[in-house]
Copies of this chain bind each other. A is one copy, B any other.
């Protein structure tokens, strides 16, 4: 399923019937975005949604590319940061897109990381009950995770991503050169999701990452390879279970614990960003699996060694500041949308690359485990 597009570009096909689309992965693709979009939807009008940080770095390149391709567009800039995924921004953007008289066949273009992608995707899903949607993810996290699978949405005071829609993009353009502008911390956080694809179902990929991670970080050709393999892994899971009724839940490896930690620090990025929560969450999921007698200590050690090698946190104690008691974390987990009829669902592991969905996890066992980890 992995084709070479030209010598520099890889293409991942996401197979979802009439909602199938392609992810283009390569360095400096942003400069030819207009050409790609014009080929896919000639004559379409576009609304670019981006944030204040990405605007400064990359909007001009996209603008030039769209103009060169003769594509008319409007631009909407939102504040950077998770708090932008809110009702007020959603309402404002929906109104702006309608005011610009964009039609169903026109497209919303998300230029940014996961926040911009989730928000813009939900706008695209909602205006006229669904407009076309194009993603140009600018962070490693959004290139390997949020741009595949069609999850869009905003946050609620009750939790993250509790309001939204499934809405597939028509095209994803992942320009790996844009990742050169990320901070080390942000790149590392995105890498947690890359490592996740190895841990959840592909031991060989995890081994490859153990050997090749420096190339991914340094912008060698290993970076495109890692992004493409990650997208392909997610695409395969999503194709099999678009609406998250079964196996798609595997993608939540590390996320049930991770989201609880993010929520516990009130999504304060200076304390914890999403990928760091996922990294600690994956570590906790493997340790909890070992506690349940499912996993060897050697495998747990391997997970810890690799995550630590790339500079990711693996312990709750690495989060600066005070953490709430274990019961509070458990309560947050119980309000998580992955709960079904009061039973706790976790992704557990029997070995590197061998995870499964466990729907009947005993809340008391989780409480005891978390109490220890917080001690």
Contact = CB atoms under 8 A, between A and B. Distances in A.
A371 interface: no
Given A101-B335, A104-B340, A337-B103, A127 B166 contact: no
Contacts of A163: 94, 98, 126-128
Interface string A148-162: 000111001111011
Interface string A25-44: 00000000000000000010
Contact of A91 (B87, B129, B158): B87
Contact of A130 (B105, B157, B243, B340): B243
Contact of A165 (B99, B104, B130, B243): B130
A255 to B, nearest CB: 15
B162 A128 contact: yes
Contacts of A126: 163-165
A125 interface: yes
A98 B130 contact: no
Given A127-B162, A243-B130, A156 B339 contact: no
Contacts of A166: 129-130
B162 A103 contact: no
A340 to B, nearest CB: 6
A337 to B, nearest CB: 5
A56 interface: no
A60 interface: no
A335 B100 CA distance: 10
Contacts of A99: 158
- A101, A151, A153, A158: which has the most chain B beta carbons within 10 Å? A158
A7 interface: no
B156 A103 contact: no
Nearest to A339: B103
A158 to B, nearest CB: 4
B341 A105 contact: yes
A354 interface: no
A319 B99 CA distance: 28
Interface string A121-160: 0000111111000000000000000000001110011110
A92 B85 CA distance: 17
Contacts of A337: 103-104, 128
A180 interface: no
A47 to B, nearest CB: 14
Interface string A334-353: 01010111000000000000
Question: Shortest 9 CB-CB distances between A and B: which pairs?
Answer: A98-B158, A128-B337, A129-B164, A87-B91, A126-B163, A98-B156, A94-B163, A98-B162, A129-B166
Interface of A: 43, 87, 91, 94-95, 98-99, 101, 103-105, 125-130, 151-153, 156-159, 161-166, 243, 335, 337, 339-341
14 contacts: A43-B341, A94-B156, A95-B156, A95-B157, A98-B163, A103-B337, A104-B337, A105-B340, A125-B165, A126-B163, A126-B164, A127-B162, A128-B162, A165-B165
